[in-house]
Amino acid sequence: MTRTTAYRCSRIFDGEKLHQNAALLVEDGCVSGICPASDIAGGIEVSDLGVGVLAPGLIDLQVNGGGGLMLGDAKSVDDIARICAAHLSLGTTALTPTLITDTPETTRRVVELGIRAWQEGVPGFHGLHLEGPHLFAGRKGAHDAGLIRKMTDDDLALYLEAAKALPSLIITLAPETVGGEQIARLAAAGVHVSLGHTGASYRLCREATEAGASLVTHLFNAMSPLQHREPGLVGAALDLGALSVGLIADGIHVDPAAIGIALRSKRGPGRIFLVTDAMSQTGTDVTSFMLGGREIFRRDGRLTLADGTLAGADIDLPASLKYLTDTVGLPLEEALAMVTSGPADVLGCPLGRLQAGRSADLVLLREDMAVDGVWLAGDRLSA
């Protein structure tokens, strides 16, 4: 028997625009439409969500860990489920857990676990992001320089096979470390090649983009900066329409003025989307944790190594939305698109929009952007 529920809310965001005093119709776990709250047909179950914003579930394409666990330490599918669960509770209903630079053995283990997680339907899991190890050591950030290396034939074979079995695979690499032929093979197999942790010139970044690179990892951080005679990767990210760009909006990784400049500069087909670059502390109250044998300190919204090097971010997507709207001054519609339809379009997946036939993965945000409810396929998760 078909079950239809009308979720009434003061504002509903469909992935592109806000609907005032509207109702989202959900039929057997899928969206069937949006209508004015006054037009709900008789006999339909009504759930009144009050004042707030009902939106598609949030999407995060750079999540290093959560729930007290880094992806590199995962030993089972349950460990991946634990990471995803920490972010689900914060409104992120689709994520690509991210492995930072590690050994070939750890990379293979995580890829195999990711494939199993997808096969077993781990809630929230939507692929993997391998941030390294094929980076430029001169822009390593918190990555272990001893583990950064060239891409071998065995590495490439692993990635090509993984791309067949995963819903999405993102690989962050440096174009001075990985050649155009390898980038082209990855892109042809459906891998989303992201440029990052690089000192490459604008010309080299453009050549990598022409070979098939389509993303940029955490804009402004760990990359060649924009200069008037050498635009670097920052210049390429903002200039080339073929590149979509991840951005950390925590007020620490990027100054709000630089965020505003980037948003005004990045027009055309390429988009800027938000990522958290979250670490294992997400969903916990720990004040420090270990990363590859090094202690990471959590103080005043920052995660750093002992020498002060930033090591991921201590923020979630709802808090990022609040920062964009309150501090940067971005309209709510634009900010919401950067965590829903924007990253969904990057992956080319049917998420991020409240369109008929799509899974009713939802988040309810209050006026201060605090999460007040999360749904997967129309089922509300327990608090």
184-206: pLDDT as tens digits = 999 999 999 999 999 999 999 99
Task: Please tell us whether the domain made up of 58-347 is placed in CATH 3.20.20.120.
Answer: no
Of the pLDDT bands very low, low, confident and very high (cuts 50, 70, 90), residue 304 is: confident
Of the pLDDT bands very low, low, confident and very high (cuts 50, 70, 90), residue 1 is: low
Same fold, 4-56+353-380 and 58-347: no
Chain Cα centroid distance, residue 11? 24
Task: Please tell us whether the domain made up of 4-56+353-380 is placed in CATH 2.60.40.1290.
Answer: no
Contacts of 23 (CB under 8 A, 6+ apart): 6, 7, 8, 9, 12, 34, 35, 36, 37, 39, 40, 46
Residue 251 burial by Cβ neighbours in a 10 Å radius (0-12, 13-18, 19+): middle
On whether the CB atoms of residues 240 and 272 are closer than 8 A, the answer is: no
| 383 pLDDT above the threshold of 60 | no
For 9-20, what is the mean pLDDT?
A: 97
Task: Return the closest-CA partner of residue 348 out of 229, 215, 255, 252.
Answer: 215
| 175 pLDDT above the threshold of 60 | yes
Which DSSP state fits 269? S
Indicate the pTM of the whole model. Answer: 0.94
Of the pLDDT bands very low, low, confident and very high (cuts 50, 70, 90), residue 297 is: confident
Q: What is the pLDDT of residue 313?
A: 67
Which of 44 and 362 is assigned the larger pLDDT?
362
Of the pLDDT bands very low, low, confident and very high (cuts 50, 70, 90), residue 298 is: confident
Q: What is the pLDDT of residue 270?
A: 78
Q: What is the pLDDT of residue 268?
A: 67
Of 38-42, 209-213, 235-239, 379-383, minimum mean pLDDT range: 379-383
Of 96-100, 161-165, 286-290, minimum mean pLDDT range: 286-290
Q: What is the pLDDT of residue 314?
A: 74
DSSP SS3 for 272: strand
d(CA 87, CA 63): 9
Q: What is the pLDDT of residues 87-140, one digit of tens each?
A: 999 999 999 999 999 999 999 999 999 999 999 999 999 999 999 999 999 999
Domain coordinates of the chain in residue numbers?
A: 4-56+353-380, 58-347
- Tokens representing 29 are 């776990």
Residue 321 CA neighbour count, 13 Å, CB half:
27
Q: What is the pLDDT of residue 151?
A: 97
Among all residues, which ones are annotated catalytic? 277
Of the pLDDT bands very low, low, confident and very high (cuts 50, 70, 90), residue 216 is: very high
Q: What is the pLDDT of residue 168?
A: 98
On whether the CB atoms of residues 338 and 273 are closer than 8 A, the answer is: yes
Q: What is the pLDDT of the chain when averaged over all its residues? A: 93
For 44-56, what is the mean pLDDT?
A: 95
| 312 pLDDT above the threshold of 80 | no
Of the pLDDT bands very low, low, confident and very high (cuts 50, 70, 90), residue 286 is: low
